Amino acid sequence: MKIVPVVNINGLLVDIEDAKISVFDRGFLYGDSIYEVTRTYNRIPVLLDEHLDRLWYSAERLSIPMIHSRELIKNEINKTLVKLNQDDAYIRVIITRGEGEIGLDPNLSTNNNLIIITKHLKGYPSWWYEDGVTLITAQIMRNPKNATDPSIKSGNYLNNVMAMTEASKQKAFDAIMLNQQGFVTEGTCSNIWIIKDGVINTPPLHAGILDGITKQQLLKLIKERGLKASELNFTPDDIKNSDECFMSSSTREIVPVKSLDGVTIGTGKPGIITKQLMSLYKNSTRAMTVPK
C-alpha cells in the first residue's frame, strides 16, 4: 500500500491534493523563505534542536520576523508525524515571509506561512554506500557570501538546481561547486570531505558553505574518537589525489565518493576511515533516537 505524505499548513493537516498556498506568497514569488530538512528514526527527529537553531539563524540573516515559537513548531512537527505514522520519516519545515502585494519590499508581506511536509523515508539504494558515487565539478559557481550567502538555508535554491542539472546531463550522482577563488565549497545538498594520509578535511564556513548539521555532528564525533580533522580549503585536484572522499547530509548521512570528473579516488571503493565514520555516525544517530 502506498504511504501518502502528510502536509501541515499553518497548523492544519491537509490532504496532499489540498496542500496549497497563495500565489501571492513571497516564497513562491521570490524564494523569500527559509527551510530545514531532517529525518526520524524510531519516530524521533534527528538533531531537531540544531536544525531549529539554524532556522532561526536564517530568519535573522534575512530579517524574516518569526511569529511562531520553537515549541509551537515542535508540536506541529509531532502532530504531523503522528498522522504519518511511520518509524522512518522525512521532515521538511518551511517558513515563508508571507503573502502580500507583488513587490520586492518585504514590508508588503503579512504573517509567515508555516508548512511542514512529512513522508515515509524509504532506504536509499545500497550501492550508494557499498560502491560509492560519482561526482563532477560544476561550471556554475557557488553564490558568494556577499550575494546570497550559502550559510543561509533559504528557499532560493536556483544555484544548486543549476549545478545539479549539470550533474544530471553527465549522468553523475551530484556536482561540487567552487567559489570565486577556485576552492571546493560543497555539493548541491551535501557537505564534502576528503581524507589524505589519515587526516579528515572539509571546507571551512568562510569558503561559502552551509554549516551542515551532520557536518558539525561528525566533527564532534571525530574529535571524541581522537581522529585528526581540519576545516581547510582544498581544490578539485586535492579531491582527485585524496585517499578517500565522502559527502554528508541529514537524510543521506555519509555517502562515499569513488570518482570526480571521471578520475578514480583512492582505490575506487569506500575507504577504511569512511566506513568507520559511516558506522560511527549511524550508531550515534540511532542512540539519539532510542525511545525513552
Same domain for 105 and 206? Answer: no
| pLDDT per position as a tens digit, 202-211 | 999 999 999 9
Residue type at position 59: A
Structural domain ending residue among the three candidates 101, 120, 139: 120
Number of separate domains in the chain = 2
| pLDDT per position as a tens digit, 185-196 | 999 999 999 999
At residue 278, what are phi and psi to the nearest 5 degrees? -60, -45
Same domain for 146 and 282? Answer: yes
Q: What is the mean pLDDT of residues 251-267?
A: 98
**Mean pLDDT across the chain:** 96
Same domain for 107 and 158? Answer: no
Active site annotation includes 169? no
Same domain for 113 and 148? Answer: no
Q: How many residues does the chain have?
A: 292
Q: How confident is the model at residue 271 (pLDDT cuts 50, 70, 90)?
A: very high
pLDDT of residue 37: 98
Q: Is the confidence at residue 57, as pLDDT, over 80? A: yes
62's grid cell: 534575512
Same domain for 164 and 100? Answer: no
Same domain for 109 and 134? Answer: no
Does residue 202 belong to any structural domain of this protein? yes
Structural domain ending residue among the three candidates 120, 145, 168: 120
Q: Is the confidence at residue 1, as pLDDT, over 80? A: no
> Please, what sign has the CA dihedral across residues 180, 186, 187, 192?
positive
Q: What is the mean pLDDT of residues 233-258?
A: 98
Give the Cβ contact number of residue 104 at 10 Å: 9
Same domain for 206 and 70? Answer: no
Same domain for 156 and 245? Answer: yes
Q: What is the mean pLDDT of residues 8-12?
A: 97
Give the Cβ contact number of residue 286 at 10 Å: 12
- The residue range of the domain holding 225 is 126-288
Q: How confident is the model at residue 291 (pLDDT cuts 50, 70, 90)?
A: confident
Q: How confident is the model at residue 2 (pLDDT cuts 50, 70, 90)?
A: confident
Q: Is the confidence at residue 292, as pLDDT, over 80? A: no
Integer angstrom CA distances of residue 36 from 32, 151, 175, 229: 14, 12, 21, 26
CATH number of the domain bearing residue 161: 3.20.10.10
Same domain for 142 and 205? Answer: yes
132's grid cell: 560509492
C-alpha span between 176 and 188 (Å, rounded): 7
pLDDT of residue 289: 84
Integer angstrom CA distances of residue 79 from 26, 113, 287: 26, 17, 23
Q: What is the mean pLDDT of residues 144-156?
A: 93
pLDDT of residue 290: 81
Instruction: Give percent above pLDDT 70 in the chain.
Output: 100
pLDDT of residue 92: 98
Same domain for 161 and 54? Answer: no
Q: Is the confidence at residue 117, as pLDDT, over 90? A: yes
* CA-wise closest residue to 73 among 54, 100, 99: 54
Does residue 1 belong to any structural domain of this protein? no
User: Could you tell me if 129 and 270 are in contact, meaning their C-beta atoms sit under 8 angstroms apart?
Assistant: yes
pLDDT of residue 152: 96
42's grid cell: 524510531
Same domain for 40 and 110? Answer: yes
Does residue 165 belong to any structural domain of this protein? yes
Structural domain ending residue among the three candidates 120, 137, 161: 120
Side-chain-facing half-sphere of 77: CA atoms under 13 Å = 26
Q: Which residues of 21-41 are buried (b: 16+ CB within 10 A; e: fewer)?
A: beeebbbbbbebbbbbbbbbb
Pair type for strands 89-96 and 113-120: antiparallel
Same domain for 100 and 143? Answer: no
Q: What is the mean pLDDT of residues 18-36?
A: 96
Top-confidence residue, 291 or 90: 90
Start-to-end C-alpha separation, the chain: 30
| pLDDT per position as a tens digit, 128-146 | 999 999 999 999 999 998 9
CATH number of the domain bearing residue 85: 3.30.470.10
C-alpha span between 36 and 48 (Å, rounded): 9
Residue with cell 534542536: 49
Q: Is the confidence at residue 153, as pLDDT, over 90? A: yes
Among the options 122, 145, 153, 282, which is catalytic? 153
